[in-house]
Amino acid sequence: METERIKCLIIGSGPAGYTAAIYAGRANLSPVLYEGIQPGGQLTTTTDVENFPGYPQGISGPQLMEDLRTQAERFGADIRFGIATASDLGQAPYKITIDGEKVIEADSLIIATGATAKYLGLDDEKRYAGMGVSACATCDGFFYRKKVVAVVGGGDTACEEAIYLAGLASKVYLVVRKPYLRASKIMQERVMKHDKIEVLFEHNVVGLFGDNGVEGMNLVKRWEEPDEERYSLPIDGFFLAIGHKPNSDIFKPYLDTDEVGYIITDGDSPRTKVPGVFAAGDVADSHYRQAITAAGSGCKAAIEAERYLSEKGLI
Ligand SMILES: Cc1cc2nc3c(=O)[nH]c(=O)nc-3n(C[C@H](O)[C@H](O)[C@H](O)COP(=O)(O)OP(=O)(O)OC[C@H]3O[C@@H](n4cnc5c(N)ncnc54)[C@H](O)[C@@H]3O)c2cc1C
């Protein structure tokens, strides 16, 4: 198989990957970045980004990512289309297979592969993507001030998102499949006594409707006849909070991950347990999952990579 030896490999082209590429490029590490199946990352699937500092009027997600890419290229980042399909982090240089046909041997590696939100799998979720369906309350809640929204999920994240949205919306339905919440006791109490949140236990959303974006959801209460009840509720926004899948599978044999698959790093730093291998952005962050925090950790990862290579005498 064809091999290529480089100093710094970055996998992923979201805010974390591109920011790492900007810093690594300016530090003369000649970074190579593989974009993966979603060039530009998650923000390419959204319209307005209003909370990324530096854009007082907001910016479209695709434009922000295009700008970050251009900025990385300006400092010499070699940005390529390709997917990392296997890894061998047993010893340096670390070997990453691209598209199953080429091996990159990297003295340092920055993993910035993100995390993918889980959806229910309804066709309507795709139909209304960016038109009322969201998997991020912090990102999109602001667009639903004084409106009615639904949050799907029964864990801590769902409760947190419901409480956050209740601070903006006029009413929040929390749609829970089970007859109870899985969230911690304290979160359950906060949700249950919130006057703007109504918990719909034993409910499943089976569809969304609306001519200009989401205007309502179709529900089934309990699945089995004869108890089953079917009805609709008007809503303006539909938020998924049923978890994310970090894109860490190919690295798992070598790195520590939590039970969901988020890569565990050394405290606030992006250092993993393998020297010279760093994890940045959502793939290592189950908590914040924002573009700016991803960009910040990409910056940290590139600074760490530069220090590591310098200490090893590799630059
Ligand atoms: C619809 C939507 C709206 C959002 N709105 C906002 C907002 O307004 N403000 C905000 O701050 N945040 C927002 N977010 C969250 C934000 O997009 C993420 O927190 C951020 O993109 C995470 O950046 P990242 O670099 O960690 O990863 P991602 O953006 O997820 O990028 C991951 C990258 O890794 C690549 N990749 C994955 N696996 C591989 C592989 N095996 N090989 C090579 N490459 C791979 C992918 O192709 C992709 O380029 C939104 C998210 C969504 C889905």
User: What confidence tens digit (pLDDT) does each residue in 104-121 have?
Assistant: 999 999 999 999 999 999
Q: Identify whether 92 is part of a domain.
A: yes
Mean pLDDT value across residues 31-58: 95
CA of 205 to the centre of ligand 1 (A): 26
Cis preceding-peptide flag for 93 (omega within 30 of 0): yes
Question: Is the pLDDT confidence value at 188 over 80?
Answer: yes
- Picking from 33, 82, 80, 39, the residue whose alpha carbon sits closest to that of residue 62 is 39
Structural domains of the chain, count: 2
Share of the chain above pLDDT 90, in %: 96
Q: Which residues line ligand 1 (CB under 6 A)?
A: 11-17, 34-39, 41-43, 45-46, 49, 51-52, 83-84, 112-114, 117, 135-136, 139, 247, 281-282, 289-292, 294
Q: Are residues 141 and 215 in the same domain?
A: yes
Torsion region of 167: left, alpha or beta (phi above 0 gives left; psi -120 to 50 gives alpha): alpha
Helices (H) and strands (E) in the chain, counts: 7, 19
Q: CA 302 to CA 315: how far, in whole Å?
A: 14
Q: CA 10 to CA 83: how far, in whole Å?
A: 11
Q: Are residues 11 and 69 in the same domain?
A: yes
Q: Identify whether 110 is part of a domain.
A: yes
Look at strands 94-98 and 102-111 and give their pairing. antiparallel
Quick one: pLDDT band at residue 61, thresholds 50, 70, 90?
very high
Question: Is the pLDDT confidence value at 283 over 80?
Answer: yes
- The token pair at 257 is 């991950």
Q: CA 297 to CA 262: how far, in whole Å?
A: 14
Give pLDDT, residue 215: 98
Q: Are residues 151 and 68 in the same domain?
A: no
Q: Are residues 130 and 176 in the same domain?
A: yes
Catalytic residue check, 139: yes
Determine the atom of ligand 1 nearest the C-alpha atom of 16.
25
Under DSSP, is residue 90 helix (H, G, I), strand (E, B) or coil?
Answer: coil
Q: Identify whether 315 is part of a domain.
A: no
Quick one: pLDDT band at residue 271, thresholds 50, 70, 90?
very high
Q: What sign has the CA pseudo-torsion 131, 132, 135, 139?
A: positive
CA atoms within 13 A on the CB side of 282: 22
Mean pLDDT, the chain, integer: 96
Out of 48, 67, 136, 156, the active site residue is 136
Give pLDDT, residue 45: 87
Q: Are residues 11 and 110 in the same domain?
A: yes
Which of 224 and 298 is assigned the larger pLDDT?
298
CATH number at residue 195: 3.50.50.60
Q: Are residues 9 and 110 in the same domain?
A: yes
Catalytic residue check, 159: no
Q: Are residues 248 and 195 in the same domain?
A: no
Share of the chain above pLDDT 70, in %: 100
Q: Identify whether 191 is part of a domain.
A: yes
Question: Is the pLDDT confidence value at 223 over 90?
Answer: no
145: containing domain:
118-238
Where among 206, 238, 270 does a domain terminate? Answer: 238
Q: Are residues 87 and 137 in the same domain?
A: no
Determine the atom of ligand 1 nearest the C-alpha atom of 15.
25
Q: CA 44 to CA 53: how far, in whole Å?
A: 17
For residue 183, how far is the Cα from the chain centroid? 21
CA of 175 to the centre of ligand 1 (A): 26
CB distance 302 to 110 below 8 Å:
yes
Amino acid occupying residue 36: G
Mean pLDDT value across residues 186-203: 96
Q: Identify whether 75 is part of a domain.
A: yes
CA of 5 to the centre of ligand 1 (A): 27
Catalytic residue check, 136: yes
Q: Identify whether 61 is part of a domain.
A: yes
Task: Phi first, then psi: give them for residue 11, nearest 5 degrees.
Answer: -115, 115
Out of 139, 282, 285, 299, the active site residue is 139
Give pLDDT, residue 217: 98
Question: Is the pLDDT confidence value at 144 over 90?
Answer: yes
Any residues with CB less than 8 A from the CB of 230 and at least 6 apart, and which? 218, 219, 220, 221
Where among 195, 214, 238 does a domain terminate? Answer: 238
Quick one: pLDDT band at residue 227, thresholds 50, 70, 90?
confident
Determine the atom of ligand 1 nearest the C-alpha atom of 134.
1
For residue 39, how far is the Cα from the chain centroid? 14
- The token pair at 178 is 């089970």
Give pLDDT, residue 98: 98
Q: Are residues 55 and 129 in the same domain?
A: no
Q: If 0-12 CB within 10 Å is exposed, 13-18 middle and 19+ buried, where does residue 213 land?
A: middle
Quick one: pLDDT band at residue 93, thresholds 50, 70, 90?
very high
Any residues with CB less than 8 A from the CB of 122 and at least 6 apart, and which? 205, 206, 207, 208
Q: Identify whether 259 is part of a domain.
A: yes
Give pLDDT, residue 15: 98
Q: Are residues 227 and 209 in the same domain?
A: yes
Mean pLDDT value across residues 201-210: 97
Q: Are residues 231 and 302 in the same domain?
A: no
Where among 238, 254, 275 does a domain terminate? Answer: 238
Q: Identify whether 57 is part of a domain.
A: yes
- Picking from 74, 61, 77, the residue whose alpha carbon sits closest to that of residue 20 is 77
Q: Are residues 226 and 122 in the same domain?
A: yes
